[in-house]
């Protein structure tokens, strides 16, 4: 992650996780163990938690306790640089994010959750 922006560092692994989730036959096993991280990046665990929370909620599964433990002190839009509050993508994500994002203060467009499904390539509105 050295030299990468948060957008570059998070994009591929999070999208791959969503695609794997959408193709999985054992979704509970994918989220039952908490991720471990002890670095300086305050956005990482809340971002993972926000995505997992939305996926679990959409699948009508029980939200693991570790997911609820991670939240930011300020709002952030996943895949944007902090402080891009006036960008179109930021405003769009804040307005359309899954309701579960509020708990973590990490927001994203709900279509991110469609990665790995036939709906992924439909226009994002």
Contact 99, 50 (CB under 8 A): no
Average of per-residue pLDDT across 112-119: 89
Residue range(s) defining the domain that contains residue 67: 6-121
Helix (H) / strand (E) containing 120: none
Q: Quote the pTM value.
A: 0.89
Q: CB within 8 A of 29, min separation 6: which ones?
A: none
Contact 46, 53 (CB under 8 A): no
Domain count, the chain: 1
Average of per-residue pLDDT across 72-96: 88
Residue 54 in domain: yes
CA distance 3 to 1: 6
pLDDT value for 2: 52
The pLDDT tens digits of the residues spanning 40-81 come to: 889 899 999 999 999 999 999 999 999 999 999 999 998 887
Residue 1 in domain: no
Alpha helices (runs of H) in the chain, residue ranges in sequence order: 6-23, 27-31, 44-58, 65-68, 88-96, 101-104
């Amino acid at each position: 992650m050295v030299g990468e922006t948060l957008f570059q560092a998070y994009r591929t692994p999070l999208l791959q996780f969503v695609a794997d989730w959408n193709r999985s036959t054992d979704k509970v096993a994918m989220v039952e163990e908490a991720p471990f991280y002890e670095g300086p990046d305050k956005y990482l665990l809340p971002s993972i938690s926000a995505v997992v929370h939305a996926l679990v909620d959409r699948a009508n599964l029980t939200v693991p306790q570790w997911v609820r433990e991670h939240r930011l002190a300020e709002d952030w839009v996943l895949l944007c640089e902090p402080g891009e509050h006036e960008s179109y993508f930021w405003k769009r994500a804040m307005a359309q994010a899954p309701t579960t994002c509020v708990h973590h203060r990490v927001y994203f467009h709900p279509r991110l959750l469609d990665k790995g499904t036939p709906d992924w390539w439909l226009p994002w509105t």
